[in-house]
């Protein structure tokens, strides 16, 4: 009886650890989902069995109408967020704030040999080290947040705030491929900015170059940023207004 629900906010549920994907799939009219102050939600390295079977059984997009996703002050791991976005075909606005479980940002592509899809095991060479190495490798994989290619033509607003340890994993792709992006906000993410820019010691003009889509209308940066940061646009064409 909630199939007509358009807005859902989950706030301050300190003991909530998972959400059933099949349950969300019933909310076919949901346009905005906001998750705040749920530090345990999807933070575990162990995937609950019922959630794994939910995801496997889901034959359609669980959130077909969702256009806005906000996650704030949550422990969600990057692999969980990647999985969730894989079921959102027309997301327009993505807001992330204070999510320490997301440590690497990358863009989906065939070149990503070292990035495992959600729900797969991470191969570890037992001859290379002990249990500590295994834990470290798993932790890195869990923290990787992969933006799916299907969102490159739908996302109009991206806001990433207060994620000081988040870095961009470059795989020959950058934000310039988001051809509909109109607003980009980066607050308190100095490592993310540093990893997004080009650094070529042989070409001073290329150093600090941050390639952005020409559709961008508003760019907001706060906090520590590289002194060499040079925002530029594809073909030197831009719609930037603010």
Q: What is the 3-state secondary structure (H, E, C) of 114-175?
A: CCCCCCCCCCCCHHHCCHHHHHHHHHHHHHEEEECHHHCCCCCEEEEECCCCCEECCCCCCH
pLDDT, tens only, 126-161: 334 444 343 334 455 778 888 888 888 899 999 999
| Beta-sheet pairing, 183-187 with 144-147 | unpaired
* pLDDT given for residue 226 in this prediction: 66
* pLDDT given for residue 193 in this prediction: 84
94 touches 155 (CB < 8 A): yes
Kindly list the distances between the CA atom of residue 169 and the CA atoms of 50, 106, 111, 128, 163, in Å, as whole numbers in the listed order.
Answer: 31, 5, 12, 23, 15
Confidence of residue 190 (pLDDT cuts 50, 70, 90): confident
Mean pLDDT rounded to a whole number for the chain: 78
pLDDT, tens only, 164-186: 889 988 766 778 889 899 999 99
44 touches 17 (CB < 8 A): yes
């Amino acid at each position: 009886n909630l199939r007509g629900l358009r807005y859902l906010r989950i706030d301050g549920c300190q003991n909530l650890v998972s959400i059933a994907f099949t349950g969300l799939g019933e909310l076919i009219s949901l346009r905005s989902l906001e998750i705040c102050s749920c530090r345990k939600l999807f933070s575990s390295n162990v995937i609950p069995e019922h959630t794994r079977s939910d995801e496997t059984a889901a034959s359609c997009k669980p959130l077909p109408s969702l256009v806005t996703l906000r996650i704030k002050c949550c422990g969600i791991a990057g692999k969980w967020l990647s999985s969730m976005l894989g079921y959102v075909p027309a997301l327009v606005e993505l807001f992330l704030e204070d999510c320490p479980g997301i440590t690497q940002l990358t863009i989906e592509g065939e070149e990503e040999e070292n990035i495992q899809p959600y729900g797969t095991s991470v191969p570890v060479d037992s001859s290379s080290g002990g249990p500590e190495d295994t834990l470290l490798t798993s932790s890195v994989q869990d923290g990787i947040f992969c933006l799916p290619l299907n969102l490159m033509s739908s996302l109009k607003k991206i806001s990433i705030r207060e994620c000081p340890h988040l870095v961009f994993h470059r795989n020959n792709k950058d934000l310039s491929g988001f051809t509909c992006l109109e607003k980009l906000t980066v607050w308190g993410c100095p490592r993310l900015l540093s990893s997004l820019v080009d650094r070529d010691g042989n070409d001073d003009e290329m150093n600090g170059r941050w390639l952005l889509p020409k559709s961008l209308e508003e760019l907001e940066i706060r906090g520590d940023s590289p002194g060499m940061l040079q925002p530029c646009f594809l073909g030197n064409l831009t719609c930037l207004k603010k």
